[in-house]
C-alpha cells in the first residue's frame, strides 16, 4: 500500500525533506519505526492515514497522523546531525505534536480543526504512550478548553464543530 501524494507531502514537510515511507508489518505493539532515514508504518496506520479527513478526524486517523509525524520528526532531527536528540523520545514527540496543527491545515483543515486536533492528539499521547515519551509538551492543558473559557461567544461555534463530528 502507498500513501496519497498529499499525505506524503505532509510527512516530507515534517521530516525536513523527502524520505522513503514504507507500509509494512512491524513487530506487534509498534505503530511506526525510523532509523533516522526511512519511515516504516504498520499497514493499519497507513490505512487510517488514507481515510483521514480533517473535517471529521477519527481517533484512528489522528493517531496515525501523530505516528507518522513522530517518525518524520526522528528523520528531521537526524538530518540536523543532533545525534544526542534524534533518539530522545520526549524531544521527538514534542516536535511531532507541534506538527499536528500544521499537518491538519496542510491537508485542508481549518484553524479550529487544527487546534482541536492538537488538543486531541496530546490527550491521546498522554494516555497511550509510555512515560518515556512524556514531557511538559504532553502535559499542556487543552487549548480549545481555554479558548472556550476566554472567548465565551465562541462556545457555540466550538459546540457546532464538535457536533459536526470532530469530537473531543
Ligand atoms: Zn520514537
Indicate whether 115 pLDDT > 50: yes
Per-domain boundaries in the chain: 5-166
> Ligand 1 mean position to 154 CA, how many Å?
36
How much is the pLDDT for 162?
A: 45
Exposed e or buried b for every residue in 91-122, given b needs 16+ CB within 10 A? bbbbbbbebbbebbbbbebeebbbbbbbbbbb
Q: Give the model confidence (pLDDT) of 47-103 as tens digits.
A: 999 999 999 999 999 999 999 999 999 999 999 877 778 889 999 999 999 999 999
> Ligand 1 mean position to 61 CA, how many Å?
18
> Ligand 1 mean position to 163 CA, how many Å?
33
Residue 88 Cα to chain centre, angstroms = 17
> Ligand 1 mean position to 77 CA, how many Å?
11
Residue 73: HSE in the Cβ half-sphere, 13 Å Cα cutoff: 23
Instruction: Please tell me the distance from the alpha carbon of residue 20 to that of residue 101, in angstroms, as a whole number.
Output: 23
Q: What's the chain's average pLDDT?
A: 88
> Ligand 1 mean position to 142 CA, how many Å?
23
How much is the pLDDT for 147?
A: 61
pLDDT band at 164 (very low <50, low <70, confident <90, very high): very low
Amino acid at each position: 500500500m502507498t500513501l496519497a501524494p498529499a499525505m506524503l507531502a505532509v510527512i516530507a514537510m515534517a521530516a525536513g525533506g523527502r524520505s522513503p515511507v514504507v507500509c509494512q508489518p512491524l513487530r506487534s505493539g509498534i505503530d511506526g519505526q525510523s532509523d533516522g532515514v526511512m519511515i516504516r508504518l504498520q499497514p493499519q496506520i497507513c490505512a487510517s492515514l488514507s481515510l483521514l479527513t480533517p473535517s471529521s478526524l477519527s481517533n484512528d486517523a489522528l493517531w496515525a497522523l501523530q505516528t507518522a509525524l513522530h517518525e518524520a520528526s526522528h528523520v528531521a532531527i537526524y538530518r540536523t546531525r543532533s545525534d544526542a536528540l534524534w533518539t530522545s523520545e520526549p524531544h521527538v514527540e514534542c516536535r511531532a505534536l507541534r506538527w499536528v496543527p500544521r499537518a491538519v491545515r496542510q491537508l485542508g483543515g481549518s484553524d479550529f480543526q487544527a487546534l482541536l486536533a492538537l488538543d486531541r492528539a496530546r490527550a491521546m499521547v498522554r494516555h497511550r504512550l509510555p512515560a518515556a515519551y512524556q514531557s511538559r509538551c504532553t502535559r499542556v492543558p487543552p487549548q480549545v478548553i481555554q479558548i472556550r473559557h476566554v472567548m465565551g461567544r465562541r462556545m457555540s461555534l466550538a459546540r457546532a464543530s464538535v457536533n459536526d463530528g470532530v469530537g473531543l
